[in-house]
Structure 1
């Protein structure tokens, strides 16, 4: 299989491939090499946390850089490593910690794509005179009616469009996503056919810079104030118990609220970081009628009627966008400030932004009554 990299003359073209050291980007490099173009693999060193060097399931660290180089040697292509650790720390890790400290639910993968992975890496690729930058994201780049659009990946279980809402039209014109039509099984099959050492390598986790999956531990090290104990109160402000730091909680969480004697399970409804207070309530208190969204990026036209996702693995739901607020057609759960609200028209990604506030459906219903 040789996908179309949308190049006028592949034989005289130069393709830069963003290589994380995983199977997806390695297969992209192999597919690019099949076109006859000059291919250069580029790996960003983004962090280095001791055990992350040897741990399977990471990306952009010691072992992964070695794997990317080994794949490039196998394919007979050049390989560069760029040290972006400082930029990644300030642009992604510090912002991740700040968001948690503010009681919000961050999406670091979107920050990474909007920063070092696209802005900085595209600039580097253009400096090298490359015709395009190819990545291993499971999304589709579709040319239709004289314009380039970004669509969901063909395989719903692998679709990564949610994290790419910040892509600009200019960036999309330069980017290529050759895996968008493929299931993961086919990608691993291609890696095996090419004799790549990463064919069976486990997938990287969503938040790659947390080596042990302990997000709270990372945030506590960077923002110690988040570990201070505080009150757990109900919706009326009655004290129910005490927690051991807001860093351990996100909105919608049930685990860890150790309050007994309640008539129904309790969930985190609101986090008040200045007071180190958790506000908890029954699941119905999590129902959201609308969300205010800022920092909107439109990759397509600004539409009123949209389908929206507020989490990467959530289904898209019907909503109305008025330029400032996304109103859901039916109450939506799992919506929190800090998350991305991403808009679609069927398979086509329209754009998105960051949720900064929500309106409770329970409050709206009470007002209507």
Structure 2
């Protein structure tokens, strides 16, 4: 295509700004989403700095998203192909970045359509698997990664919500809220992880019904248009998740909480609740412990 390809080495910065915070949050009992952080502090910030250095007016990326200008503001619209939509990860962007972004793939319905277009133009693409999950944990085994990166942790305890000891485990970071696999059945009763107590290396077990919540507490709230909105709102708690209805209440210091119309199963602290108005991305925040 005649476009010069340049590589920028940022491995050390990636470790400091993405991997280390991921480990730190995990050891605090959170289930962080490093992709949100990477897009915010590495990808777009780095591209903006590089574009400024090269005096480039715009930045084009391969995100499956649409941009629309309305009332002087640039809005992010969800992808025409919901399976490829990546808007969930970009709620931390603001107008400074959006005014210079271009998403060329927004013109295509799917990745297959992109491949067909390139083949028609005589541009061959290598066949490759699409990445899913965290790039620096390719096997998806978070616990093994954390164990390798941190000091040896002593044996911990399973307890029920009343404090009764139910058994032992080899580190709370092997578990996440809502997990059933690997959780022991005691006296024939099946349990699910309902909470983590990282400061004392304990995992709290309970029943499936204990996981459902109608109130979600949030920190680091951000809206793309620069406002701080409160009121009725639509939101997702994962990229492929259902679009829920709720009411956002602000409590100061970019914190607040969502009152959900229906109870959600195990909204995980560390993950993001991302706000929408139908197909328009509004903003979001990080789920935190009560």
TM-score by length of 2: 0.92
Q: Residue 345 and residue 162 in structure 1: after superposition, are their counterparts in 2 closer, same or farther (change >3 A)?
A: same
Equivalent position to 1:337, from 248, 254, 269: 269
SS class of match (2:268): coil
Q: Deviation at 1:238?
A: 1.0
Aligned residues: 282
Q: Deviation at 1:106?
A: 0.4
SS class of match (1:92): helix
Equivalent position to 2:110, from 179, 183, 201: 183
Question: Does the Cα contact within 8 Å between 1:125 and 1:133 map onto a contact in 2?
Answer: yes
- Within 5 Å, which residues of 2 pair with 1:275-314? 275-300=200-225, 301=227, 302-314=229-241
Match of residue 317 from structure 1: 244
Match of residue 20 from structure 1: none
Structure 1 gap segments, 5+ residues each: 1-74, 359-369
SS class of match (1:206): coil
Q: Deviation at 1:184?
A: 2.1
Deviations 1:210-256 (A, max 9, x none): 1332221211122235x432111112111111112112111111111
Q: Deviation at 1:196?
A: 4.5
Q: Deviation at 1:132?
A: 0.7
RMSD, aligned α-carbons: 1.6
- Within 5 Å, which residues of 2 pair with 1:132-147? 132-147=58-73
Match of residue 156 from structure 2: 230
Match of residue 21 from structure 2: 95
TM-score by length of 1: 0.73
SS class of match (1:294): strand
Q: Deviation at 1:193?
A: 3.2
Equivalent position to 1:218, from 125, 145, 167: 145
Q: Residue 281 and residue 180 in structure 1: after superposition, are their counterparts in 2 closer, same or farther (change >3 A)?
A: farther
Q: Deviation at 1:258?
A: 2.0
Quick check: 1:350 aligned with 2:276?
no
